[in-house]
Structure 1
Amino acid sequence: MLFQSMKSLIHLVTDAIQYFRVQNFQMAYDYTKQVINLMQQCLLLLEPETAASLLPVLEMVLGEMEEQDGIRLADVLEEGLLPELYQIQAEVFESSEGVLEDYWGKSRLVLKKRYPDLYRKILEYRDKIPDNYQLSWAKTGDLALDVATDSGVTRLNSMYNPWNEAVLFVQNLVGNKQDKEYIILGFGMGYHLEVMLKECPYEKIIVLENDLNQLAVALSYRDLSWVLEKEQVELVYCRKAEDYFRYLSEIKSGTKVGIWYPSVKTVLDSDLREALENYKLELSSVENIGSELEGNFLENIKREDTEVSVLRQEFYGKKVILAAGGPSLDEGIELLRNRNEDVRLICVGKVARKLLAAGIQPNYIVMTDGMAKTRWQISGIEECGIPLIYLSTAACGVVGAYKGKRYIAFQEGFPLAEESAAEKGYPLYQSGGSVATFALDMLLRFECSQVVCIGLDLGYPGERTHASGIGSKVADTSNMRKVEGITSKYVYTSKTLDIYRRWIEKRIAGVKETELLNASKGARIRGMKEIDIELLGE
């Protein structure tokens, strides 16, 4: 069928362009040869006038092939050929009937054989797919799916070129192809899975999906039976969070996780959707600065700073105030200045300058951020004499600039830190993703008798994001979450701050050695006793 042949041709051109752009010229020229062969076949099926419009572009492609100029050839394919193919495909679509084909017969045979339980579940849904699932045609001749939810309409793939979108997703995921297993959250319309199999023909691919309607649509109207047949592919229906985290809780070396985010956005269970969004944020954070963290670690261990667990006896059985950077810190400044001398004060790096300017001398400053831009946090106080506790992956330039006594902590979940700690017999700490969560974990491990938190708002009880001088005004709450507040029914918070709140609640559950008090005024942290900020000085 001409419509399908044109769609395949557009896919091949897209692949060739992407290979040229990353300068994998061998693959690029191989795909260009396939493009030429299929173009010649399509020319025989097209109307003479339409075929004639393609001939000049074909001649340009052949000419650049002879010249072996990959950059110019890619430009010809992208700027000359693709627009022509889109136009022709639109004309073919308008003049054709029955372009929407039903592939359920092929899909069901594979499902019954490989996934009998999932087959029965999809079968229940297939004939009653709700109206909020709407198919449409992309410019390429591929299918796109829109899903309407309470929060709006989510498009599962591009209406322009879903194949190119899938290619870019896979390129970003597989990188230099060092991993042996991939876990993909989200089936979508399956384009990214087809590209995955093309790029990783031998690696294990586990696909986790929650939406049976989505699966029913994709497997009915796209020919994905060949994907399901592959022994290396494992399709898993995840009804609840535990089903996902059975695969995600402990990611072993050589396994890479990819998230097709539109599929996550359409999960109906709000708690499950939130958990998956939280996981996506954590995963993105690690991926975005992974190489920078490694560089920081390698530089930081060269300094041979004292490992932080030597401070345990200093904190054991003591009362400690943990000062974070939330808006409620402003109300506690005077009380911190007049605190009992026996009470230790730990502050996060972001508020160190603010406290010192107010005449408040913390006992320790804690820093964990791996980004060099956090240098401002210690600007002007490099020689203040207050000891610095830092995570092994903290920004090495910032750590090196600090002239006082320094203590290094090694964290769980970072392979280099785990290896180094095991070699030297050091304990590991949980970072929790933020400086405040790490500091709290450390104080719990030191078995302080009491930890009082101030500025640990984990939300926005007023109009500011942080305490005065270190934050900004909350501009827009439309994409924020509402959570239970301490001094109000609810407060707005970001997805990231909500991850930290949930992490803290999980971390402190069952803690008996340390009394945990919260003098902040933001989001309620279950497991912490809330106290009036006026009690802070006692």
Structure 2
Amino acid sequence: MKFEVSIARDGHQTLSINGIHIYSKYKPIDHVNSFIDKELDIEAEGYLLLGLGLGYHLNSIVKKVGKKKIYVLCVDKREQEIFMHSTISNDLLNLSNVDIVYDPKYIEINKNYQIIIPNAWLQVLDKNNPLYYFLADIKIKQESYNSQKELLENNFSNNLLLNDKNLNHYISETKQVNKIACLVSSGPSLNETKGWLKDVRKQLFILCVGSALKVLLKENIIPDAVIISDPKVNIIQQLEGTNFDGPLFYLSTANYVATSNYLHKKYILFQSGYKKAENIAQQYNIPLVDTGGSVATTGFSTLKILGFNTIILFGQDLGFKENQTHAKFSTSGRIVYENEKLLKVISNNGEEIYTTPNLHSYLMWFNSKMKDSNNLKVFNTALNGAKIHNVEYIDQDKFYKIVHS
């Protein structure tokens, strides 16, 4: 990495790495303070900050959180030398609550810690660093939450007013026979695999994400339940005009117009990571759903809570061989263009395919959940979809054998 310290327009030191400005060229400290003011969760138990540099982000956090524990993860060992020449380093040295580390194995945090990732530091972090995609995933979710915070809160408040049942009610009302669960998403592989469900429909419990509902209904395949999670109003189109009258699972922050318009059985899901939902779930002893950032990952978590020990994934591509991200007739998806920032991953057929940062985030979630799958058996039917750790690809013949075994 090429570090360059210079003087900003306001007279303070500033820093660039490999030509990327870590701080403003004009008012670096003001810029950092503004970022921390917007980003910082003052109620967090402790903090993990990416990047040391001249210490500006660290200094801004220290002033606001007092003696709470702060870890600073450096992206390069030379940062220590840069930091020692900073005009504010003397104020930050030897603070008992601050640990500056170069290896994440020295970091001990829990879910009550806030991870703070300045965009510039993420940009200079080597993509071959095993931490890069982990931190990029966190950053994507943080930015998504921050951009939709008011919408989420509005949806949550209005959904509570519906006074719908929750997962505990569904479990007590439903006597599940020992069926195999199929989670149907709307990835492009669904174009080829949706027909597999017809002949063995009665032996399956089918949970369909909202964007795939119309795809299944065109094949006269009626799912056992549908799940939605999107907070935006355009989610309405996933259900309207379908005449589907089965159970609807919806995330507590899903768009309340869509949830209130649905006049049949519905069950609200309370998600981990959203404090208001966690509080209600704790108060009434309701299972918390791990969302993973997408409706499919939310559906996967829901099926686990419902007790299914075999889950077969349909349309769970998490990538694409050509340029179409979703199946035909899906209410989601788009065409991907060559100038977009795409990543490459290995598919179930051993070839490289493209994926977007968001889809890669969901792939990482599945990978983490399948590291220790215990007695859970998970299979994927997407030949040209991304390979998920510990998830076997199955063709149509193997699918029928599993169903009939």
TM-score by length of 2: 0.86
For residues 201 and 502 of structure 1, the distance between their equivalents in structure 2, rounded to whole angstroms, comes to 32
Q: Which has the higher contact order (CA 8 A, sep 6+)?
A: 2
Which of 265, 270, 273 is the equivalent residue of 2:132?
Answer: 273
Separation in structure 2 between the aligned mates of residue 427 and residue 195 of structure 1, nearest angstrom: 38
* 1:208 match: 72
Identify, as 1 or 2, the structure richer in strand: 2
Query: How much has 1:432 moved relative to structure 2?
Result: 1.8
Residue identity (%) = 25
Give the number of the structure whose alpha-carbon radius of gyration is greater: 1
Cα deviation per residue 1:23-67 (whole Å; 9 max; x = unaligned)? Answer: xxxxxxxxxxxxxxxxxxxxxxxxxxxxxxxxxxxxxxxxxxxxx
1:502 is aligned to 364
Alignment of 1:165-180 (within 5 A): 165-174=31-40
Is 1:410 the counterpart of 2:266? The answer is: no
Counterpart Cα distance in 2 of 1:441 and 1:179:
26
Residue 184 of structure 1 deviates from its aligned partner by 2.9
233 and 367 in structure 1: CA distance in 2 versus 1, 3 angstrom threshold: same
The amino acid of 2:166's aligned partner reads: E
Where do 1:58-69 residues align within 5 Å? none
- 1:50-100 deviation per Cα after TM superposition (whole angstroms, max 9, x unaligned): xxxxxxxxxxxxxxxxxxxxxxxxxxxxxxxxxxxxxxxxxxxxxxxxxxx
Deviation at 1:174, TM superposition (A): 4.4
**1:158 aligns with one of 6, 14, 24:** 24
State the secondary structure of the residue aligned to 1:475.
coil
1:354 aligned partner:
215
Equivalent residues in 2 for 1:171-190, closer than 5 Å: 171-174=37-40, 182-190=47-55
Structure-2 residue corresponding to 1:37? none
For residues 183 and 227 of structure 1, do their structure 2 counterparts lie closer, same or farther at Cα, with a shift above 3 Å needed?
farther
**C-alpha distance in structure 1 between counterparts of 2:147 and 2:139, whole Å:** 12
Q: Comparing 403-412 with 441-450, which one deviates more in the overlay?
A: 441-450
State how far apart, in whole Å, the 2-side matches of 1:509 and 1:404 are: 37
Give the aligned partner of residue 460 of structure 1. 320
| 1:230 CA displacement | 7.8
Q: Structure 1's 180 and 527: CA in aligned 2 closer, same or farther, altered over 3 A?
A: closer
Change (3 A) 1:147 1:427: same
Which structure carries more helix by proportion? 1
In structure 2, do the counterparts of structure 1 residues 178 and 340 end up closer, same or farther at CA, with 3 Å as the change threshold?
A: closer
**TM-score, normalised via structure 1 length:** 0.66
**Aligned equivalents of 2:395, 2:160: Cα separation in 1:** 42
Call closer, same or farther: CA 1:315–1:476 in 2, change over 3 Å: farther
State the alpha-carbon separation in 2 of the partners of residues 302 and 310 from structure 1: 17
Check 1:509–1:317 CA distance in 2 against 1; reply closer, same or farther (3 A cut): farther
Task: Please give the per-residue CA displacement for 1:323-345, whole angstroms capped at 9, x wherever unaligned.
Answer: 11111111123333444322122
Asked whether the 8 Å contact 1:154–1:266 carries over to 2, the reply is yes
In the alignment, does 2:297 pair up with 1:437?
Answer: yes
The 1:423/1:144 distance shift into structure 2, 3 A limit, reads closer
Residues 1:173 and 1:414: Cα distance change in structure 2 (over 3 Å): closer
Which 5+ residue runs of structure 2 have no aligned equivalent?
Answer: none
CA distance 1:457–1:332, change in 2 (3 Å): same
Match of 2:84 among 200, 219, 226: 219
Can you list the C-alpha shifts for 1:347-406, whole angstroms capped at 9, x where unaligned? Answer: 10111122223322111101122233322222323x421211112222222111111211
Listed as ranges, the matches of 1:250-269 within 5 Å are 250-251=111-112, 256-268=114-126
Pick the aligned partner of 1:290 from 142, 149, 167: 149
Residue 207 (structure 1) shift: 4.5
